[in-house]
């Protein structure tokens, strides 16, 4: 028993090393690189240091530092970490039935960074996620943009550094069947839109009171957390992520966006193929879900796996999401593969898995492509990302390996089985093993 405890202590100490070890450059050689924003590179070299990409290019054109730790990954494929624009991992929850709209609720106050869903997402190659509250309300609350590092507290995962002064995510809204229910929720689609419009009008009036006060504390309105969050939406600081399925509901969301001028990302858009041109004309991005086993609610009965192709043809920015657990995060790459099978171009599908999602979350300067200066978030694949036979072999976040299929403990989270629902203490410094 003493020997076991001693070995476990050593293992936990070693688990804490990678962040510091990233000061030493790490080079990956021989792989096919998919930078996303530039053509594929055969026999490429990727060098990372200090959590950033410091060099990327063909062999012979990239200098590998003498002190670099070199990984020969010949025969493999390296691409940027995947961006999931709509996830519910880590025990996400938001507003309740006390009101139809809860703009003041923060999902970050409900997230569990030790949730095994995070390890499963890492196993699927996801390195960034927009974790959202549910869609049972017209506005369920504020979302959280998270980097899927191995962390002990929510602060280790959030993109923002100060939850009190910074915007840490977007705003979750919904229409259609989900938010229509018993009181106090609206009973019709028309009333749903009316409630939303009234709330935004209140936010406009609140913002005007602040403007008129001109910094005079005696003239400032009483602090209102709901209004503060909605003013952030009106001012474009917080993007609205809008759950919507039917073609008429999609157009309602666009009308609301036009009336109040907020930034909008359409989520799901099951019937996007029916209004693809309207979505593109509005200049609104669409994050779609692709199902390999369709079913569920009536309003999504006409979902089409050709949505990606229709939106690409219309000229809209298209991304993908899991809505985990609707699509298991471990199988996120299937979304691109299925979309291509239904007519989407290979280039657009891979862009949708990475760079498009980064743009939707305002993170395109940090993630989404293999470019010098960006975060060292990438995945090592056994083969072509669109092949059903390809496996995610490794996932790296800011130059630290957070998933390795060869590690039996990580393998468990990748394939499931007894113990896969137990907290992955192996990755967390100072915690007991499982």
CATH code of 7's domain: 2.30.40.10
- Statement to judge: residues 248 and 306 lie in one domain: yes
Q: Is residue 367 part of a domain?
A: no
Which DSSP state fits 299? G
pLDDT for the residue 21: 46
268 and 185 inside one domain: yes
Do residues 193 and 169 share a domain? yes
Q: Are residues 56 and 187 in the same domain?
A: no
Q: Is residue 433 part of a domain?
A: no
Tell whether 107 and 156 lie within a shared domain.
yes
The verdict on residue 220 lying in a domain is yes
| Residue 365 placed within a domain | no
**pTM strictly above 0.85:** yes
Domain count across the chain: 2
Q: Does some domain include residue 148?
A: yes
Which of 360, 395, 415 is the endpoint of a domain?
360
Residue 120 lies in a domain: yes
Instruction: Tell whether 253 is covered by a domain.
Output: yes
Residue 392: pLDDT above 50? yes
Determine the pLDDT at residue 292: 78
> How many whole angstroms separate alpha carbon 43 and alpha carbon 58?
6
Which of 200, 262, 253 shows the shortest CA–CA distance to 227? 200
Residues 323 and 309 both lie in one domain:
yes
Q: Is pLDDT of 403 > 50?
A: yes
Verify that 68 and 89 share a domain, yes or no. Answer: no
Model confidence over 146-188: pLDDT tens digits?
999 999 999 999 999 999 999 999 999 999 999 998 788 899 9
- Long-range interactions of 387-390: CB distance < 8 A, separation 24+: 387/337, 388/334, 388/337, 390/77, 390/333
Note down the domain range covering 271.
82-360
Last residue of a domain, one of 360, 387, 418: 360
- pLDDT score for 1: 42
Given 329, 360, 391, the domain boundary residue is: 360
Q: Both 72 and 134 in a single domain?
A: no
Task: Give dist(CA 309, CA 318) in Å, integer.
Answer: 9
State the residue for tokens 């609610």.
297
Average pLDDT, the chain: 92
Query: Same domain, yes or no, for 118 and 244?
Result: yes
Is-contact 143 95, C-beta < 8 A?
no
Does 417 share its domain with 307?
no
Mark whether 312 and 392 lie in a shared domain. Answer: no
Residues 336 and 394 reside in one and the same domain: no
Beta-carbon contacts of 198 under 8 Å, excluding residues fewer than 6 positions away, are none
């Amino acid at each position: 028993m003493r020997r076991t405890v001693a070995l476990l202590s050593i293992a936990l100490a070693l688990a804490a090393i990678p962040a510091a070890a990233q000061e030493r450059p790490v080079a990956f050689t021989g792989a096919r690189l998919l930078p996303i924003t530039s053509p594929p590179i055969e026999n490429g070299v990727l060098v990372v240091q200090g959590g950033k990409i410091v060099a990327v290019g063909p062999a012979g054109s990239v200098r590998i530092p003498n002190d670099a730790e070199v990984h020969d990954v010949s025969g493999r494929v390296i691409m940027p970490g995947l961006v999931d624009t709509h996830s519910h991992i880590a025990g996400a929850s938001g507003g309740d039935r006390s009101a139809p709209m809860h703009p003041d609720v923060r999902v970050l106050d409900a997230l569990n960074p030790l949730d095994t869903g995070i390890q499963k997402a890492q196993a699927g190659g996801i390195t960034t996620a927009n974790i959202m509250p549910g869609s049972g309300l017209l506005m369920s609350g504020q979302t959280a943009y998270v980097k899927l590092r191995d962390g002990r507290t929510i602060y280790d995962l959030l993109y923002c550094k100060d939850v009190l002064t910074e915007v840490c995510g977007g705003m979750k809204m919904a229409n259609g069947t989900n938010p229509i229910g018993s009181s106090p929720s609206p009973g019709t689609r028309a009333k749903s839109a009316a409630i939303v419009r009234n709330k935004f009008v209140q936010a406009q009036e609140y913002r005007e009171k602040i403007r008129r006060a001109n910094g005079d504390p005696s003239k400032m309105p009483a602090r209102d957390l709901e209004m503060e969050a909605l003013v952030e939406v009106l001012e474009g600081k917080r993007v609205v992520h809008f759950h919507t399925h039917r073609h008429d509901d999609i157009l309602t969301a666009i009308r609301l966006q036009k009336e109040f001028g907020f930034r909008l990302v359409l989520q799901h858009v099951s019937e996007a193929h029916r209004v693809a041109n309207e979505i593109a004309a509005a200049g609104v991005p669409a994050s779609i879900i692709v199902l390999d086993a369709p079913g569920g609610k009536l309003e999504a009965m006409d979902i089409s796996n050709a949505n990606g192709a229709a939106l690409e043809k219309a000229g809209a920015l298209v991304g993908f999401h899991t809505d985990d657990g609707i699509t298991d995060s471990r199988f996120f790459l299937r979304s691109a593969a299925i979309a291509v099978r239904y007519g989407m171009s290979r280039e657009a599908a891979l862009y949708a898995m990475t760079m498009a999602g980064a743009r939707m979350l305002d993170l395109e300067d940090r993630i989404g492509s293999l470019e010098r200066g960006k975060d060292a978030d990438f995945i090592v694949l056994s083969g072509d990302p669109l092949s059903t036979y390809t496996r995610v072999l490794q996932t790296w976040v800011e130059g630290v390996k957070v998933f390795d299929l060869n590690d039996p403990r990580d393998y468990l989270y990748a394939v499931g089985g007894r113990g896969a629902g137990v907290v992955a203490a192996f990755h967390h410094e100072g915690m007991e093993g499982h």
